[in-house]
Structure 1
Amino acid sequence: MAGTGGESEVVKMEVDYSAEVKRLISDCEMEGTVLSEALEKLLAMEKLTRTAGDANSTGHILVFIMKICFGSGDWPLLNEHIVMLTKRRSQLKQAVTKMIQEACTYVEQTPDLNTKLKLIDTLRTVTEGKIYVEVERARLTRRLAQIQEEQGNISEAAKILQDQQVETFGSMEKREKVEFILEQMRLCLANHDYVRTQIISKKISVRFFDTESVQDLKLKYYQLMITLGEHEDAFLTISRHYQAVFDTPLVRDDPAKRQEALRNVVLYLLLAPYDNEQNDLVQRVSQNKTLEEIPTYRTLLQQFITMELTGWNSLCEHFDTELRHGVPDAPATGVFSHDTESGNQRWKMFHRRVIEHNIRVIATYYARIGFSRMAELLNLTENEVEEHLSCMVVNKTVFARTDRPGGVISFLTPQDPSQTLNVWSHNIDSLMALVNKTTHLVTKEEMVHSKCMH
């Protein structure tokens, strides 16, 4: 099939110029050959091989032109010939591919940054829109983004890289695609573009990480996703990401790394708002045998599984040092770090989760309770109790009704209307069955009595 501009047309070779090209290249390699004369002869031969459809010979000529231009140190001449040769009429794409691949090797051999940028710009310009050199263009784009980042232009680097849709490239290996997408995610995060980071992350299927050979990419991916989750305070999602890190053989086989990952799994899980999904994950994590290696975190998790009141002061006394400061055998994870604003904010959130746990416990054991008594149990003021309880009711974590004048909280759940209707229907059916049975027995007695009279 013919593509746009005839790029995909298959040209049949009419004449084989391989011998002549080999001889010409050998002559041009001789010492004393003038560069301009060599280029003139090579360009004339290139025209013959190109019009004859000899892609192999044309490729050899183009690559050799790149080599002698590079060898001369004349970078403007190299850029000029790259543009000129790619624009020649009916140029063979196989030959252009070889030439671009050769020119790409010169990028890291440029004498200065300005020359490097000009060469990259030239190569990106001539490869734009050409599918057969899309991989080379993507690599050049990534290098350009790295240069911009090194110069402190994070936003420009992110903008340059995010325009490349490598997931559609059929000629690029999966690993390289994932590396490229991860780099896009990293730059977007560095540029504080969290929405685009979330969109780009969906281009990677987590099934790709099932292979042990890509464990390094898996860890990099989840670290980026954890950073994204921290910005959005998506604690349950972060816990799941750390669970995936924990399940990575590279981490699981290292005691220090697996314990660190599991600590984060526990802490972020306890920071997550209570719901069925969070509760289910808490139950499953509590059964993890590795928790025996970190007994403090196993005990902490057990506090939230057991339906008993957890005193905040008591909890701080037992866990504050290890969670916020760390101890020699168990360094702090940084989740509740006392010397960072985010750590202090999470510690306050953790206090809130403890209060919510205690309210759920009270709702389980009490049908009605006074404000003052509940404040006493929670070690809070009545206004604080009302605030926390109101939030939980709005989030449908618990059901409660407050009688402010009476100072009473009721946890009695009203019966669902459909359930009430079902009970009423069942009672009516039972009543009608009893009436029918009674009527039948009365009729039977009347008939027996009637026979006895006669």
Structure 2
Amino acid sequence: MSGREDPLKAEKDFSATLDENIPLIEKLTDYKQAIDKYLVLEKQTRQSSDLASSKRVLVKIVETLVDNNDWDYLDDLLTILSKKHGQLKSSIQTLIKSTIDKLPNLDENVKKELDLKIKLIETIRTITDKKIFVEVERAIVLKNLSEIYLEKFNNLDKATEILCDLQVETYSLMPFQTKIEYILEQIRLTLAKKDFSQAKILSRKILLKSLKNFEKAEYLKSVYLKYLLDISTHERDYISIVKNSLLLIELSNIKENEVEYKSLLVSIIYYIILSSYDNYQSDLINKIKINSVFIKNVDSPIFKLLEIFTTNELIHWSNIEQIYKQEYFDKSDIFKDEINYKNLQKRIVEHNLRIINKYYQFIKLDRLSYLLQLSESQAETNVSELVNSGMINAKINRPQGIVKFDKVNPVPKTSIGNEKGEAPSANESINELLNDWIYDVDKLLEEVDSIGHLINKEEMMYGIKQKA
């Protein structure tokens, strides 16, 4: 029995009867006799479709059993009353909500009481299965059960499985802020499990632009952005780290924590120079370079990295190591990761190749390897990689040991202009347009993927509703 819809009007009003009988029942010394009398009233109010009176009686039943510490009887009645013929949906909701409100009375540090609590939650879980009108109550008890498995049994897998069982984003009755908090907790547990793929799927259920105009909006936005940073850090998606970090430093609760704020600013600089060069990266690094926040709050040598990576000059890896390694890189968690450190070297090689491409039409392979501070085979490999990625146009003549660069510059320019501050040429404008288009198409495909995921969820929920 899934419960009847609430009536517009009761067939008979039992409010006067309850006003007369409840005080008399409360005086009974045997609580089981009291429950029997309440059950008689429950039947009468249910059969007469008196919703208000039905709710009053059900609340009294829960209160009487809890006051007398008879949780087992309450557990039995939860199932029995929720399945009664003609039971109203709002009455079932009230019965479950009243029980949930009393659950904190059970001490989780006492094994017997903890077992009782788990038993009651499992009963509520069964009663509420596939019932939309009690979906919020179901979410509340499952969150509680998840916390119990995590904190009392140290069972992260079970806690995550329980919490991620629900798609709360489809719950029409759940307040928006509660939905966000629930999804964030799902993401937190999946990240704790190191299940970054699932965490990424869950993160798509939240839209950044929706995190505003409610009480805890800014705090929840900061939590969400930090989770996105964890996911992007695992994937080494440097540009996403920069993008989300730039949003994070705008939040007042982050600005109030000076240590965290300055650490974020430094990490933004490190990650933007680690990002692969394209139109979007070039635009961001130039915007960061002229942002006074970074100029004021970041050590000048670190800030100077922005200048080094945006000028038309070769970068010597040996000089970078000498200046930065011991003083800065060795103290940063970012560059303690060996892969990130190797990627930094790779970005310097890529930068140097772009500069060489800009000024050379032909260059000897041995001269190129000298300028790049690499072996000839390494230089050749790097040229090939950049040609394949479309960053430069070049051909290698192996018999003659010559690299020929195409003078049509494929390097995407930013909205700020080229490196010299000049207006872009026709070719540069075309390349910028194409790079913008490529980036927009990537973003579009990402959104389509996200929408497809949400549509699948909706179809699943619709199927469940039809069966219910």
On whether the aligned pair clears a TM of 0.5, the verdict is yes
Greater relative contact order structure (CA < 8 Å, 6+ sep): 2
Residue by residue over 1:190-217, the C-alpha shift from the partner in whole angstroms, topping out at 9 and shown as x without a partner, is 2333332222212111112344841111
The separation in 1 between residues aligned to 2:127 and 2:31, in whole angstroms, is: 24
Q: By how many angstroms is 1:415 displaced? A: 11
The separation in 2 between residues aligned to 1:373 and 1:356, in whole angstroms, is: 16
- Contact 1:135-1:171 at 8 Å conserved across structures: yes
Match of 2:316 among 292, 311, 314: 311
Match of 1:48 among 44, 51, 67: 44
The separation in 2 between residues aligned to 1:290 and 1:210, in whole angstroms, is: 24
Corresponding residue for residue 32 of structure 2? 36
**2:276 match: secondary structure:** coil
Q: By how many angstroms is 1:268 displaced? A: 1.1
RMSD, aligned CA: 2.1
TM-score by length of 1: 0.84
Q: By how many angstroms is 1:160 displaced? A: 1.6
Q: By how many angstroms is 1:413 displaced? A: 4.7
Task: State the one-letter code of the partner of 1:154.
Answer: L
- Contact 2:14-2:45 at 8 Å conserved across structures: yes
Corresponding residue for residue 433 of structure 1? none
Corresponding residue for residue 200 of structure 1? 202
The separation in 1 between residues aligned to 2:116 and 2:130, in whole angstroms, is: 24
Residue by residue over 1:159-181, the C-alpha shift from the partner in whole angstroms, topping out at 9 and shown as x without a partner, is 22222121122222111110001
The separation in 2 between residues aligned to 1:74 and 1:414, in whole angstroms, is: 83
Corresponding residue for residue 429 of structure 2? none
- Is 2:378 the counterpart of 1:384? yes
Unaligned 5+ runs, structure 2: 108-112, 411-425, 427-468
**Equivalences for 1:314-393 in 2 at 5 Å?**
314-326=319-331, 332=332, 334-337=333-336, 343-393=337-387
Q: By how many angstroms is 1:6 displaced? A: 5.7
- Is 2:77 the counterpart of 1:89? no
Q: Which range moved further: 362-371 or 383-392? A: 383-392
Q: By how many angstroms is 1:373 displaced? A: 0.8
The separation in 2 between residues aligned to 1:277 and 1:218, in whole angstroms, is: 24
Q: By how many angstroms is 1:107 displaced? A: 2.0
**1:310 match: secondary structure:** coil
Task: State the one-letter code of the partner of 1:15.
Answer: K
Corresponding residue for residue 422 of structure 2? none
Corresponding residue for residue 120 of structure 1? 121
The separation in 2 between residues aligned to 1:6 and 1:254, in whole angstroms, is: 51
Corresponding residue for residue 17 of structure 2? 20
The separation in 2 between residues aligned to 1:210 and 1:105, in whole angstroms, is: 30
Q: By how many angstroms is 1:28 displaced? A: 2.3
The separation in 2 between residues aligned to 1:8 and 1:48, in whole angstroms, is: 18
Corresponding residue for residue 259 of structure 1? 262
**2:378 match: secondary structure:** helix
The separation in 1 between residues aligned to 2:319 and 2:75, in whole angstroms, is: 72
The separation in 2 between residues aligned to 1:163 and 1:213, in whole angstroms, is: 25
Distance 1:280 1:414, change over 3 A: closer
Residue by residue over 1:47-83, the C-alpha shift from the partner in whole angstroms, topping out at 9 and shown as x without a partner, is 1111111111111111111111112212211100111
Q: Which range moved further: 167-176 or 302-311? A: 167-176
- Contact 1:24-1:42 at 8 Å conserved across structures: no
**2:263 match: secondary structure:** helix
The separation in 2 between residues aligned to 1:8 and 1:268, in whole angstroms, is: 56
- Contact 2:14-2:50 at 8 Å conserved across structures: yes
Q: By how many angstroms is 1:321 displaced? A: 2.9
Distance 1:5 1:68, change over 3 A: closer
**Equivalences for 1:18-167 in 2 at 5 Å?**
18-30=15-27, 33-111=29-107, 112-150=113-151, 151-167=153-169
- Is 2:241 the counterpart of 1:242? no
- Contact 1:259-1:290 at 8 Å conserved across structures: no
Distance 1:198 1:7, change over 3 A: farther
Q: By how many angstroms is 1:185 displaced? A: 1.3
The separation in 1 between residues aligned to 2:56 and 2:6, in whole angstroms, is: 20
**1:335 match: secondary structure:** helix
The separation in 2 between residues aligned to 1:62 and 1:9, in whole angstroms, is: 16
- Is 2:273 the counterpart of 1:276? no
Corresponding residue for residue 8 of structure 1? 5
- Indicate the percent of aligned positions where both proteins have the same amino acid: 31
The separation in 1 between residues aligned to 2:359 and 2:244, in whole angstroms, is: 35
Q: By how many angstroms is 1:183 displaced? A: 1.0
Task: State the one-letter code of the partner of 2:32.
Answer: S
Distance 1:25 1:322, change over 3 A: farther
TM-score by length of 2: 0.81
**2:309 match: secondary structure:** helix
The separation in 2 between residues aligned to 1:404 and 1:267, in whole angstroms, is: 36
Task: State the one-letter code of the partner of 1:103.
Answer: T
The separation in 2 between residues aligned to 1:204 and 1:225, in whole angstroms, is: 11
Task: State the one-letter code of the partner of 2:322.
Answer: E
- Contact 1:291-1:297 at 8 Å conserved across structures: no
**2:403 match: secondary structure:** strand
Corresponding residue for residue 439 of structure 1? none
- Contact 2:241-2:271 at 8 Å conserved across structures: yes
Q: By how many angstroms is 1:117 displaced? A: 0.7
Q: By how many angstroms is 1:136 displaced? A: 1.1
- Contact 1:323-1:336 at 8 Å conserved across structures: no
